[in-house]
Amino acid sequence: MTSPSLFIQVLSGWRNAILKMIPNWMSNRPGKNVGYSFLWSLVLPVDVELENTLQGVNDWAPGSPNASPTALPYIGNSRAILQGEAEADDHYAARLIAWRQTTKEMGRSERLALEIQEYLGNTPLVRVIERVYSSSGATVANYVTAATDGTTSIVQAAWDWDSVGGWSGPSEDGTNPGSATRTWWSDIWIVVYPCEWPVTGTELSALVPIWGSTSVGMGHAVPVVARDAILRIVDQWKGLHAYVRAILWSYDATLFDPASPSASGDPDGTWGPLFNRTGQADGRVRYWEPNQY
């Protein structure tokens, strides 16, 4: 069995350890160190690999002393936790340490809202609106909210998008009346506000500066890297049963308020194809409709 003292010597480097493992006549003597130099050259590659191993083990423990922050994105990728746009390495490391507890909450709307909030640089309010199954009576939804301070709450309130025209899908699907859509219990909408990306205007002329760009989106100047990150977060953290009807980026904090679900200016449910948004011609909301959901 290897003694503790030898183990400590090995961790300090084989080149240091061999000094106590060789006879005096092979030691590093001036002018008589050919044998020592030969041994030193043999253990040098071992020391290099040992150092790589130790650094790799240390870096895989986020927050450990001398751990390299360059390893954090790789750890986060394996734990399904992305680093936020403006998130400090120390804060990110703390979230990675708590990943076992966090991932237990996968599929919950509260966790989905918090993960989106953690990623966005402006720490916005994020609300997940869950349609509540109803075959008759008033249509309602659960408004799951992650406030800007990181606290979460759930409120059930009226949801009148079904009472107007139902769901207008692609032309081949036609329109599903409210009497049918109110039973689609797995539907959710994600609302984020305030949105950190400036709008690009409601006229075609406003798109001229970014026309043909591969780095920002139309409607609002969302960077492609942020778009991909948000879609990935939604895909990883939403419930497997949940169907994301849309991700809504609101520039008006008064919209989609459970305390006033029928407020003037709220979308009325007549979605239509692509950019046809009834009641939203003023551009206060930008819509993402991920086809894969």
What confidence tier does 51 reach under pLDDT thresholds 50, 70, 90?
confident
Is the pLDDT assigned to residue 122 strictly greater than 60? yes
Q: Give 178's contacts (C-beta < 8 A, 6+ positions apart).
A: 139, 162, 163, 164, 165, 166, 269
Place of tokens 């139902």: 166
Report the 10 Å Cβ neighbour count for 286: 23
DSSP three-state, residue 41? helix
Q: Which residues pair with 248 in a beta bridge?
A: 191, 287
Q: Which two tokens stand for residue 10?
A: 């090995």
Instruction: Give CA–CA dist 131/66, Å, rounded.
Output: 48
Q: Which two tokens stand for residue 290?
A: 């991920």
Instruction: Tell me which H or E stretch contains 130.
Output: strand 125-131
Can you give the three-state secondary structure of 157-226, one letter per residue? EECHHHHCCCEECCCCCCEECHHHHCCCCCEEEEEEECCCCCECCCCHHHHHHHCCCCCECCCECCEHHH
Task: Kindly report, residue by residue over 262-273, the tens digit of the pLDDT.
Answer: 665 566 544 444
Instruction: Give CA–CA dist 92/76, Å, rounded.
Output: 9
Question: By mean pLDDT, which of 133-142, 202-211, 273-282 is the weakest?
Answer: 273-282
Residue pair 233/243 in contact by the 8 Å Cβ criterion: no
pTM to 2 decimal places:
0.75
Q: Which two tokens stand for residue 200?
A: 């690009």
Task: Kindly report, residue by residue over 20-39, the tens digit of the pLDDT.
Answer: 777 777 777 787 777 778 88
Give the residue from 125, 282, 140 showing the smallest Cα distance to 190. 125
